[in-house]
Amino acid sequence: MFDYIIVGAGSAGCVMANRLSEDPAKRVCLVEAGPPDKNPLIHIPLGLALLARTRGINWGYVTAPEPQLNNRRLYWPRGKTLGGSSSVNAMIYMRGHPADYENWAKAAGPAWAWDRVCELFIAMEGNAAIVGAHHGTKGPLSVANLVHPNPLSRAFVQAGVECQLPENADFNGERQDGVGLYQVTQKEGRRFSSARAFLDPARERKNLTIETGALVERLCIEDRRAAGLHLRGRDILLRPGGELIVCGGAINSPQLLMLSGIGPGAELSRLGIDVVHDAPEVGTNLADHLDIGVLASTRGRDALGVAPSFLPRAIRSAWTYMRHQRGELTSNVAEAGGFAKSDPSRGRPNLQFHFIPALLRDHGRKTSFGYGVTLHVCDLLPKSRGRISLVGNDPLVPPRIEANYLSHPDDIGVLLDGLKLARKIFDAPSMKRHIKAELLPGAHVQSDDALIEDIRARAETIYHPVGTCRMGKDEASVVDPEARVRGVEGLRVVDASIMPSIIAGNTNAPIMMMAENVSRMMRGR
Ligand SMILES: Cc1cc2nc3c(=O)[nH]c(=O)nc-3n(C[C@H](O)[C@H](O)[C@H](O)COP(=O)(O)OP(=O)(O)OC[C@H]3O[C@@H](n4cnc5c(N)ncnc54)[C@H](O)[C@@H]3O)c2cc1C
Q: Is the CB of 511 under 6 A from ligand 1?
A: yes
- Asked whether residue 34 falls in the same domain as residue 136, the answer is yes
- At residue 231 the predicted structure's pLDDT band, cuts being 50, 70 and 90, is very high
Residue 272: inside a domain: yes
Nearest CA to ligand 1 atom 49: 84
Backbone conformation region of residue 223, classed left if phi is above 0, alpha if psi is from -120 to 50, else beta: left
Residues in CB range of 148: below 8 A, 6 or more apart = 326, 327, 328, 330, 331
Residue 335: inside a domain: yes
Mean pLDDT across 514-522: 98
Nearest CA to ligand 1 atom 53: 78
Q: Is 7 exposed, middle or buried (0-12, 13-18, 19+ CB in 10 A)?
A: buried
Residue 414: inside a domain: yes
Q: For residue 195, what are the domain limits?
A: 1-44+73-142+188-285+465-525
- At residue 55 the predicted structure's pLDDT band, cuts being 50, 70 and 90, is confident
Q: Is the CB of 247 under 6 A from ligand 1?
A: yes
pLDDT value at position 163?
Answer: 98
- Asked whether residue 306 falls in the same domain as residue 446, the answer is yes
- Asked whether residue 216 falls in the same domain as residue 273, the answer is yes
- Asked whether residue 205 falls in the same domain as residue 268, the answer is yes
pLDDT reading at 380 higher than 80: yes
Provide the CATH number for the domain around residue 329: 3.30.410.40
Q: How many domains does the chain have?
A: 2
Report phi then psi at 399, rounded to 5: -70, 165
Is residue 444 annotated as part of the catalytic site, yes or no? no
Q: Annotated catalytic residue: which of 43, 277, 376, 464?
A: 464
Q: Is the CB of 7 under 6 A from ligand 1?
A: yes
pLDDT reading at 52 higher than 90: no
Calculate the alpha carbon distances from 491 to 51, 364, 398, 477 in Å.
33, 38, 23, 15
Q: Mean pLDDT score of the chain, rounded to an integer?
A: 97
Residue 200: inside a domain: yes
List, in sequence order, every residue forming a beta bridge with 338; answer none if it has no partner.
Answer: 179, 353
Provide the CATH number for the domain around residue 222: 3.50.50.60
DSSP helix/strand/coil, 379: strand
- Asked whether residue 450 falls in the same domain as residue 472, the answer is no
Lowest model confidence (mean pLDDT) among 15-29, 51-65, 458-472: 51-65
Residue 417: inside a domain: yes
Q: Is the CB of 84 under 6 A from ligand 1?
A: yes
CA of 350 to the centre of ligand 1 (A): 23
The rounded percent of the chain whose pLDDT value lies above 90 is 98
DSSP notation for 409-420: HHHHHHHHHHHH
Rounded Cα–Cα distance for residues 283 and 469 (Å): 6
- Asked whether residue 211 falls in the same domain as residue 112, the answer is yes
**Where is 137: in which H helix or E strand?**
none
* Positive/negative CA dihedral, 196, 175, 128, 182: positive
DSSP helix/strand/coil, 103: helix
Residue 248: inside a domain: yes
Residues in the chain: 525
- Asked whether residue 104 falls in the same domain as residue 235, the answer is yes
Using CA atoms in the order 401, 406, 407, 408, what is the torsion angle rounded to 10 degrees?
Answer: 130
CA of 511 to the centre of ligand 1 (A): 9
Which of the listed residues 417, 437, 458 is the one where a domain comes to its end?
A: 458
Rounded Cα–Cα distance for residues 43 and 455 (Å): 33
Which of the listed residues 415, 437, 458 is the one where a domain comes to its end?
A: 458
| Spatial contact of 370 and 305, defined as CB atoms under 8 Å apart | yes
CA of 9 to the centre of ligand 1 (A): 9
pLDDT reading at 392 higher than 80: yes
Residue 62: inside a domain: no
pLDDT value at position 109?
Answer: 98
Nearest CA to ligand 1 atom 31: 10
pLDDT value at position 175?
Answer: 96
Residue 315: inside a domain: yes
Q: Which amino acid does the sequence have at 144?
A: A
CA of 318 to the centre of ligand 1 (A): 28
- At residue 286 the predicted structure's pLDDT band, cuts being 50, 70 and 90, is very high
- Asked whether residue 108 falls in the same domain as residue 122, the answer is yes
- Asked whether residue 431 falls in the same domain as residue 415, the answer is yes
What are 113-172's pLDDT values in tens digits?
999 999 999 999 999 999 999 999 999 999 999 999 999 999 999 999 999 999 999 999
First to last CA, the chain: 25
- Asked whether residue 416 falls in the same domain as residue 487, the answer is no
What are 323-346's pLDDT values in tens digits?
999 999 999 999 999 999 999 999
DSSP helix/strand/coil, 72: strand
pLDDT reading at 54 higher than 90: no
For a ligand 1 pocket test, name from 18, 54, 86 the mutation site with the most ligand atoms within 8 angstroms of its C-beta: 86
CA of 513 to the centre of ligand 1 (A): 14
- Asked whether residue 228 falls in the same domain as residue 335, the answer is no
Q: Is the CB of 509 under 6 A from ligand 1?
A: yes
What are 209-227's pLDDT values in tens digits?
999 999 999 999 999 999 9
Task: Please identify, by atom number, the ligand 1 atom nearest to the C-alpha of residue 184.
Answer: 8
Strand 125-127 relative to strand 141-143: parallel, antiparallel, unpaired?
parallel
- Asked whether residue 156 falls in the same domain as residue 130, the answer is no
pLDDT value at position 525?
Answer: 73
